[in-house]
Amino acid sequence: MTVKEVLHNTEEKMKKAFESVTRQFHEVRTGRASPTLVEGLHIDYYGTPTMLKQLAAISAPDAHLIVIQPWDPTVIVEVEKAILKSNLGINPSNDGKIIRLAVPQLSKERRLELAKVIHKMSEDGRVSIRTIRRDSKETVEKLEKDKVISEDDKFRGIEELQKAVDRYIAKIDELLKAKEKEVLEF
């Protein structure tokens, strides 16, 4: 294994950690209707947990309404159960073919609470990035100890690791600023 391979693997892992934080942020309700609020819900579809976006057309015709139209109308009851089990705090209504979710405005207290939640999510993402760095740094140091790479290569590799860490943490911080602004807007 070379330093280049370690850096490539590290980059892939950091990208996945960043994507995870992004996905978590999309699931936070901000008072605006968005299909991303529900598309990741798992529905028991004939005994198989299946994501809602694979079972239905999901749209947000306006800022306070999400419309879910299952391709198989027999699954409506299961979709409603999944929505009620989730911590969205939204009650579904259906007409036998379509489920409507009215997204209420958030109170100031709930907005502040959500801001704390997204701060924790972003900090978890930063910790994940730093953990990846630590593991990769140990791998690079072991390569140098085993005489696979030179000391200079080790220092260059660690420097590149730090640049990647800084880049991904900056991305998470940008994401946090945008989401925080979105959550705190009235």
What distance in Å separates the CA atoms of residue 109 and residue 107, rounded to the nearest whole number? 5
So what's the pLDDT on residue 186? Answer: 61
Span 62-95, pLDDT tens digits: 888 899 999 988 899 888 888 888 767 788 888 8
Residue 134: both structure tokens together: 């630590």
Mean pLDDT of the chain: 88
Q: Where are the domains of the chain?
A: 3-26+107-184, 35-102
Name the DSSP letter for residue 92: E
First-to-last CA distance in the chain? 52
> What 3-state class would DSSP assign to 34?
coil
The token pair that represents 112 in the structure block: 């502040």
Q: How confident is the model at residue 12 (pLDDT cuts 50, 70, 90)?
A: very high
Task: Please determine whether the domains at 3-26+107-184 and 35-102 fall in the same fold group of CATH.
Answer: no
Q: What pLDDT is stored for residue 84 in this prediction?
A: 86
Amino acid present at 50: T
- The pLDDT tens digits for 88-127 are 778 888 888 899 988 877 788 878 888 888 999 999 999 9
Q: Which residues contact 89 (CB under 8 A, 6 or more apart)?
A: 29
Handedness of CA 87, 119, 39, 48 (dihedral sign): negative
Fold type of domain 3-26+107-184 = Topoisomerase I; Chain A, domain 4 (1.10.132)
DSSP 8-state assignment for residue 148: S
pTM: 0.69
Which 3 state secondary structure label does DSSP give 90? coil
Q: How far apart are CA 22 and CA 25, in angstroms?
A: 5
Domain 35-102: which CATH class? alpha beta
What pLDDT shows up at residue 111? 83
Question: What distance in Å separates the CA atoms of residue 60 and residue 162, rounded to the nearest whole number?
Answer: 41
The alpha carbons of the chain give a radius of gyration, in whole angstroms, of 22
Separation CA 112–CA 122 (nearest Å): 15
Q: With contact defined as beta carbons under 8 Å apart, do 19 and 168 qualify? A: no
How far is residue 73 from each of residues 41, 54, 60, 161, measured CA to CA in Å?
A: 17, 14, 19, 51
